[in-house]
């Protein structure tokens, strides 16, 4: 039975193992049963699902996942947590702990034991590596169905943002290129031990089943997007002209913007993802 969401049980197990929180690993453990249940609902975990959990900690969310999913694979970096997980998860036979760094493991290999299954990723993420984890998973080609994660509130808002808003930027476009993003819950600091300095949110990223965009050169598309938001106050044209890693001339950039029917002084934040794709395809012609 999942028992760790109750703060007293978390305190007890931490004491028993003399556990010391490691700031460098972004350790903020969940101690709120309502939030844990919300994450399971947001991820729509069912008895056929294979789940990849990143950073199980002492196994709090893992217990809930084991109760609901077919199989849970949990990747944890901290040596100190491995014996604790051995105890807190001992009654579950559908969990596998991988003691490693999620940024170094070959996720394709980890999930290869379950051919034909699509994977749901669920995690209360270490906030210091949110973006590399998400982008790494999307770019890895792992058959992911959805990613449901706790992240910093501002980061969740950026992932879900619409063009022209203050939160809209390179992260919005990188995430929305692969998935539909929806914030499922806001979570205050008192739901964690220790309390983080910032507010958090659970966001659900449902990966597009088919590739939505026909892009001539994906690497260039993302370089263009980053260059457009590097200098937010500048026009799109200046942002692209000033980017050292873009091969286009001033004239090519001006002509591409004109061909799209956009004003010469348009800012990058006004362009939708479709328009960035169009711009990059024109420039790659
Ligand atoms: N899932 C637990 C919970 O909700 O209570 C713990 C969440 S805590 C925010 C983040 C977890 O990720 C910690 O257990 C931390 O040790 C682990 N972690 C940090 N960096 C990691 C990495 N590079 N690879 C795998 N796990 C990592």
The average pLDDT across 144-153 equals: 98
Q: What is the dihedral of CA 12, 77, 153, 144, to 10 degrees?
A: -120
Mutational pocket test of ligand 1: of 77, 84, 133, 198, the residue with most ligand atoms within 8 Å of the beta carbon: 77
pLDDT at position 179: 97
Residue ID of nearest Cα to ligand 1 atom 10: 126
- Mean pLDDT computed over every residue of the chain: 96
Residue 232 pLDDT more than 80? Answer: no
CB within 8 Å of 200: residues ≥ 6 apart: 150, 151, 152, 153, 156, 186, 187, 188, 189, 191, 192
Residue 231 pLDDT more than 90? Answer: no
pLDDT tens digits along 18-61: 999 999 999 999 999 999 999 999 999 999 999 999 999 999 99
pLDDT at position 206: 98
Q: What is the dihedral of CA 132, 136, 139, 142, to 10 degrees?
A: -150
Compare 232 and 152 and report the one with higher pLDDT: 152
pLDDT at position 173: 97
Token readout for 163 is 């063009």
pTM: 0.95
* Distance of CA 78 from the midpoint of ligand 1 (Å): 8
* Distance of CA 216 from the midpoint of ligand 1 (Å): 37
Residue ID of nearest Cα to ligand 1 atom 21: 77
Residue 230 pLDDT more than 90? Answer: no
Residue list, ligand 1 pocket, CB within 6 Å: 25-30, 54-57, 60-61, 75-78, 81, 101-103, 124, 126, 129
The percentage of the chain sitting over the pLDDT mark of 90, rounded to a whole number, equals: 94
pLDDT tens digits along 269-279: 999 999 999 99
CB within 8 Å of 113: residues ≥ 6 apart: none
Compare 201 and 1 and report the one with higher pLDDT: 201
pLDDT band at 1 (very low <50, low <70, confident <90, very high): confident
Name the fold adopted by 218-284: Helicase, Ruva Protein; domain 3 (1.10.8)
- Superfamily for the 7-207 domain: Vaccinia Virus protein VP39 (3.40.50.150)
The average pLDDT across 254-266 equals: 97
pLDDT at position 54: 98
The average pLDDT across 68-95 equals: 98
Q: Do domains 7-207 and 218-284 have the same CATH topology?
A: no
Distance CA 247, CA 256 (A): 14
pLDDT tens digits along 177-223: 999 999 999 999 999 999 999 999 999 999 999 989 999 999 999 99
Domain boundaries, the chain: 7-207, 218-284
């Amino acid at each position: 039975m999942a028992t760790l969401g109750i703060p007293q049980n978390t305190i007890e197990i931490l004491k028993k193992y003399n556990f010391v929180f490691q700031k460098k690993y972004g350790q903020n453990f969940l101690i709120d049963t309502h939030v844990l249940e919300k994450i399971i609902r947001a991820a729509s975990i069912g008895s056929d699902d294979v789940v990849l959990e990143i950073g199980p900690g002492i196994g709090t969310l893992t217990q809930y996942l084991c109760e609901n999913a077919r199989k849970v694979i949990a990747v944890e970096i901290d040596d100190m947590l491995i014996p604790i997980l051995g105890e807190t998860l001992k009654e579950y036979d559908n969990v596998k702990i991988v003691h490693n760094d999620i940024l170094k493991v070959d996720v394709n290999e980890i999930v290869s034991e379950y051919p034909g299954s699509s994977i749901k990723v669920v995690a209360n993420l270490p906030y210091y590596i949110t973006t590399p984890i998400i982008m790494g998973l999307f770019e890895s080609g792992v058959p992911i169905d959805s990613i449901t994660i706790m992240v910093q509130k501002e980061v969740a808002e950026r992932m879900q943002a619409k063009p022209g808003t203050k939160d809209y930027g390179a992260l919005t476009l990188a995430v929305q290129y692969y998935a539909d993003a929806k914030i499922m819950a806001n979570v205050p600091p008192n739901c964690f031990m220790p309390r983080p300095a910032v507010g958090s949110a659970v966001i659900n990223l449902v990966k597009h089943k088919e590739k939505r965009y026909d892009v001539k050169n994906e690497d260039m598309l993302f370089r263009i997007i980053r260059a457009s938001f590097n200098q937010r106050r500048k026009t799109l044209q200046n942002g692209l002209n000033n980017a050292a890693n873009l091969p286009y001339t001033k004239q090519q950039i001006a002509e591409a913007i004109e061909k799209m029917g956009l004003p010469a002084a348009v800012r990058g934040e006004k362009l939708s993802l479709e328009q960035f794709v169009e711009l990059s395809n024109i420039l790659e012609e």
